[in-house]
Amino acid sequence: MVRNYTDYLKASADALKGSPIPKPFAVWSALSAVAGALGRRVWFPMANYDIRSNLFITLIANPGRNKSVSLILPYSKVFTKLTTPVGTTEDDSNFNSGLDKYGLRKYPLYSIQDRITPEKLAVDMCKLQRIDMRLSSPQIEEFHDASVTLVTSEFGAFMSRTDRYLQMFLTDMWDSKDSYSHKTKTAGEYVINGPCLNWIACATPEQFVENLPEDARSQGLLSRMIPVFYDGPKIAQSLLQTKVSDNTIENLRHDLGAIAKMYGPMTFDPDCFDEVNADIEAGIPPEPTAPHLAEYNQRRISHHIKVAMSVSASRRGTRKIMLEDWEYTKELMRDMEKHMPKALEGFGMGRTGKIAYDMTVWLNDTLFSNGRSHLLIKHFKRELLRKIPNPGELTQTIQAMEDSGYIKVEGNLVFPCRKDVT
């Protein structure tokens, strides 16, 4: 299938130029769509396991930065037009017959949007698992595929701080093992053959750290996530903004359909193999040095390969990762990693530290919205009283915030000291 664009990611991001959507969100949401289109059917073979392109991306920014809007073009207007309802087959009347147009009738994509419980997601993945005969071989009699992309516009609508099953489930889904089984008290045991979950979500900084399980770092979930943090200004909307044309949307659908038809192992081009391998053996410098990113660093190579697979697929159908794909991948990852400490700031704090962080985020955002440098202490106290269980701790908490360098109190005014907490 001949493509319309030489670079799907660039074309998707270019279509949103002049919009109030931050460029990092435009690029990473399109990247997520490509990863979802590849699903389990394309993989990078390592010595002892295979790496799939699926990603766990969270777009993180303060309110009003068009996080959810970033999902409209790549998903609502493009990706979902290449999908069919979970549990349907070619013979069902509600099967998306429009998939014939993109050559995906036998190999449709599946997506689930917004609110769903992890148990329901697991059950749905059981329903959509199928056998891809194109990948059958003497070594693999039946290639099972239960790929699905989950789109959650509100991080907290799916992720729960207290749901330990969800954490274990997501960890296994990211790894895309051959099968996954789980026993329940009500539904008995279910088995997912060929699971592969691609997930993109949106969150404010507070929502992200508040809804992550406290042991997400030690249990491996946090190291499997890519938090794309945007701390730039709110981009003004305009009546002069150009609407994405129907022709552009159709061209993007066509090209994503071509990507979805790819299958088989992906490799690095021989001309760049030695250079890429040297990068990998050196740990793909510069490696993040923040102490709380140590677990993430253990999976940096896998993250880079996952992203490189989608970058390559967005440009060509050869299943070859070229040097320019690798260099662009490193650029994307460096920019994401640069902001990662901010995305995770406040995670794992004690109660007082978490309150201090949340109040500083609120203070900075309030002052930015009003164009001021300070706030009346009475307004600060009013918001703080909503977060502390005991009003008697009010003075103590304010003093702790001063001592820790979060705020400065002068008379009846409070000033933020940490502009990096946003």
Full pLDDT tens readout for the chain, 422 residues: 799 999 999 999 999 998 999 999 999 999 999 999 999 999 999 999 999 999 999 999 999 899 999 999 999 999 999 998 787 776 776 666 667 888 888 888 999 987 788 888 988 999 888 888 888 776 677 899 999 999 999 998 898 877 778 888 999 999 999 999 977 666 678 899 999 999 999 999 888 988 888 778 778 999 999 999 999 888 888 887 889 999 999 999 999 999 999 999 999 999 999 999 999 999 999 999 887 788 899 999 999 999 999 999 999 999 999 999 999 999 999 999 999 988 887 676 656 677 888 888 899 889 988 889 999 999 999 999 988 877 888 887 888 788 778 899 999 999 998 655 55
What distance lies between CA 75 and its chain's CA centroid? 13
Question: Does residue 1 sit within a domain?
Answer: no
Distance CA 278, CA 301 (A): 12
Distance CA 166, CA 122 (A): 10
Per-residue b/e over 25-45, b at no fewer than 16 CB within 10 Å? bbbbbbbbbbbbbbbbbbbbe
Asked if 171 and 220 count as a contact pair (C-beta separation under 8 A), the reply is yes
Question: Does residue 90 sit within a domain?
Answer: yes
Give the up-direction half-sphere exposure of residue 284: CA atoms within 13 A in the CB hemisphere.
Answer: 21
Number of domains in the chain: 2
Question: Does residue 89 sit within a domain?
Answer: yes
Looking at 285, 311, 343, the residue that finishes a domain is 343
Question: Does residue 378 sit within a domain?
Answer: yes
Question: Does residue 403 sit within a domain?
Answer: yes
Do 104 and 152 belong together in one domain?
Answer: yes
β-strand 111-113 against 413-416: which pairing, if any? unpaired
At 397, which CATH number? 1.10.10
Do 86 and 203 belong together in one domain?
Answer: yes
3-state secondary structure of 144: strand
pLDDT in tens, 72-102: 999 999 999 999 878 777 677 666 666 788 8
3-state secondary structure of 51: strand
Q: Which residues pair with 112 in a beta bridge?
A: 150
Do 216 and 335 belong together in one domain?
Answer: yes
Do 271 and 189 belong together in one domain?
Answer: yes
Do 314 and 405 belong together in one domain?
Answer: no
At 163, which CATH number? 3.40.50.300
Question: Does residue 2 sit within a domain?
Answer: no
DSSP of 155-201, one letter per residue?
GGGT--TT-HHHHHHHHHHHHT-SEEEEEETTTEEEEEESEEEEEEE
Do 304 and 412 belong together in one domain?
Answer: no
Start-end of H helices in 220-297:
246-260, 270-281, 294-297
- Give me the long-range contacts of 84-91 (CB less than 8 A, separation at least 24): 84/108, 84/109, 84/110, 86/110, 86/112, 86/124, 86/127, 86/128, 86/148, 87/124, 87/127, 87/128
Nearest to 81 by CA among 248, 254, 258: 254
Do 165 and 297 belong together in one domain?
Answer: yes
Looking at 313, 343, 373, the residue that finishes a domain is 343
The pLDDT score that the predictor gives to residue 188 is: 72
Question: Does residue 421 sit within a domain?
Answer: no
What residue numbers bound the domain in which 242 lies? 8-343
Distance CA 87, CA 386 (A): 45
Do 375 and 265 belong together in one domain?
Answer: no
Question: Does residue 296 sit within a domain?
Answer: yes
Do 228 and 297 belong together in one domain?
Answer: yes
Do 316 and 355 belong together in one domain?
Answer: no
Do 238 and 335 belong together in one domain?
Answer: yes
Rg from Cα positions in the chain = 23
Do 62 and 38 belong together in one domain?
Answer: yes
Q: Which residues pair with 409 in a beta bridge?
A: 414
Looking at 320, 343, 366, the residue that finishes a domain is 343
CA distances to 58, 198, 300, 352 from 218, rounded to whole Å, are 19, 22, 16, 22
